[in-house]
Amino acid sequence: SQQGEEDPQALSIQEGENATMNCSYKTSINNLQWYRQNSGRGLVHLILIRSNEREKHSGRLRVTLDTSKKSSSLLITASRAADTASYFCATLAGGTSYGKLTFGQGTILTVHP
């Protein structure tokens, strides 16, 4: 079963606007990661946040984690047309072997120039 549920399923914005995507999960986690997938290609790792962290930044990306609500959000600031892609959250469940990430269904982001 899918560990992560993402919201919204699709998001359409104008260049320069901020994009926020949310991810909820079901079990306790070791860490939560966000990946990006351009159409027809493999996934690329964006950012990882550990279960004892609440917020993390990387360039125009900001990730928050609320373990009490079992949810995370990814904020992309000042979006660009090149940010158009699918974004997935992935969790490593607590006590689980490495190599065993569980992915959400993804959010399709379209940034219009």
Partner 1 sequence: NAGVTQTPKFQVLKTGQSMTLQCAQDMNHEYMSWYRQDPGMGLRLIHYSVGAGITDQGEVPNGYNVSRSTTEDFPLRLLSAAPSQTSVYFCASSYVAGVSGSETQYFGPGTRLLVL
Task: Return the number of the residue (15 or 61) whose C-beta is nearest partner 1.
Answer: 61
Q: Hey, is 2 helix, strand or coil?
A: coil
Residue 33: CB minimum distance to partner 1, A: 7
Under the rule (CB under 8 A), what is the footprint of partner 1?
A: 1-2, 4, 30-31, 33, 35, 40-45, 48, 50, 88, 90, 92, 97-106
Task: Return the number of the residue (15 or 73) whose C-beta is nearest partner 1.
Answer: 73
Pairing of the two strands 61-66 and 71-76: antiparallel
Residue 73: CB minimum distance to partner 1, A: 18
Task: Return the number of the residue (15 or 103) whose C-beta is nearest partner 1.
Answer: 103
CA distance 113 to 108: 16
Residue 14: CB minimum distance to partner 1, A: 26
**Long-range contacts of residues 58-67, Cβ cutoff 8 Å, at least 24 apart:** 61/34, 63/32, 63/34, 65/32, 67/28, 67/29
